[in-house]
Amino acid sequence: MKSKKEQIFEVSARLFRKRGYVGTSMRDIAKGVGVEAASLYNHIKSKQEILHELLFDVAGRFTTGMDEISDSSLNPLQKLEKLISLHVRLAVEHTDAVSIIIGEWVHLEEAAKNEYTGLRDTYEEKFKAIIQDCISEGHFKQVNPEIALFSILSTLRWLYSWYSRNREISSVELEKQMIECLLVGLKK
């Protein structure tokens, strides 16, 4: 059974995704939970805390996943496949939270925002390093690694959006197709 605090986070994630952080009032959240707005404060400290919790929880899952993959003994191409798998899994399991991490981090208060962008930059750096390894070890052509990173990452970031519109595809199939499109290429 879910605790009230968890309920609040769940409802908030759904509403933040639909109307944004600023566009969602504490009274909206309260209504979703089935309680008066003031009662929320028996469980949480502030509205900002909700955003912070939602965002850093899923950010942590990404960075943990990245570290495991990055530190593994797989070859760089296999690492990329694992990263795609990570993104697919998190997009499927935490659709709303992933949506928020992408669109609503700007509404974190200054200190938390800096912390978040730091995490994100580190994540992107590690991602890029793996792509560069793919190039130097001869798996990839001599493409601009920045642009390859950007191309892959933006697709992975959008996964949550696409997945919520096309639930019928299995995540295994989705993963396979993503590898084909992103890593192998479309051209015959």
Residue ranges in contact with DNA by CB under 7 A: 4, 24-28, 35-39, 41-43, 46-48
In the bound state with its own copies, the residue whose beta carbon lies nearer, of 127 and 140, is: 140
The tokens for 27 are 């009274």
Q: Are 175 and 89 in contact (CB under 8 A)?
A: no
- For 77-115, give the DSSP string: HHHHHHHHHHHHHHHHHTHHHHHHHHHTGGGS-HHHHHH
In the bound state with its own copies, the residue whose beta carbon lies nearer, of 38 and 181, is: 181
Other beta carbons less than 10 A from residue 33's beta carbon: 18
How far from chain centre, in Å, is Cα 5? 22
In the bound state with its own copies, the residue whose beta carbon lies nearer, of 2 and 187, is: 187
Write down the least CB distance from residue 100 to DNA, Å.
Answer: 15
Residues in touch with its own copies (CB under 8 A): 18-20, 22-23, 103, 106-107, 134, 138-141, 143-144, 146-148, 150-151, 153-155, 157-158, 161-162, 166, 174, 177-178, 180-188
In the bound state with DNA, the residue whose beta carbon lies nearer, of 44 and 159, is: 44
